[in-house]
Structures are given as structure tokens and as C-alpha cells.
Amino acid sequence: MVPFENTWPYERIMKDFYVDHCPFCDANHVLLPLKQREIGEIKSGKKKHLVFPCCYSKLQIIDIDDDYILADSKVRNYL
Ligand SMILES: [Zn+2]
């Protein structure tokens, strides 16, 4: 069970993945460097090192569902 502080909502628009705002710098509507193929890989257990393009903050994604990224560290501490 992943703690709530480790989750962050994302949206899919066509083939692109966005967050409404960045958990680290609060930039709006950030396009994530994430591919559809990688979503499947993460779901099957592969970790994904994500770098936010807005502020180069890093996140290790350990799981993902249709609405939320699950990270291995807190992402809700920063606001
Ligand atoms: Zn940012």
C-alpha cells in the first residue's frame, strides 16, 4: 500500500501525459516525459526515473494507475 503523500494525479491527453501542476515548482500543465509503452512497463513492475521538464526535479515512479503516479518518496511535502 503506497501512502497518499507518494501519489500525484496525472492526465492523459491523446498520447501525451500531463500533470495539472508540478509538485515541486508549481508550474502549470507540465508535459511529462512519459510514453504509453512505459506506462505498461511500470505497471508490470519496472521503475521509471522521471525528470520534470519544468524544474528538473526527479521522481522514481514505482507504480501507476489510470489517475495517479505512485512514487517511492513523498511528493506532497513540497507545497
Ligand atoms: Zn517543476
31 domain-assigned:
yes
**Does residue 29 register a pLDDT over 80?**
yes
What is the domain extent for residue 67?
4-71
21 domain-assigned:
yes
Ligand 1 center–CA 30 separation, angstroms: 8
Ligand 1 center–CA 54 separation, angstroms: 4
14 domain-assigned:
yes
**Does residue 24 register a pLDDT over 90?**
yes
Domain count, the chain: 1
- Which tens digits make up the pLDDT trace of 36-52? 999 999 999 999 999 99
Ligand 1 center–CA 2 separation, angstroms: 22
Going by pLDDT thresholds of 50, 70 and 90, the confidence category of residue 68 is very high
How confident is the model at residue 78, as a pLDDT? Answer: 55
Ligand 1 center–CA 24 separation, angstroms: 5
CB < 8 Å & 24+ apart, contacts of 21-29: 22/52, 22/54, 22/55, 22/57, 23/57, 23/75, 23/76, 23/78, 23/79, 24/52, 24/54, 24/55, 24/57, 24/75, 24/78, 25/52, 25/54, 25/55, 25/57, 26/79, 27/52, 27/54, 27/55
* pTM summary value: 0.89
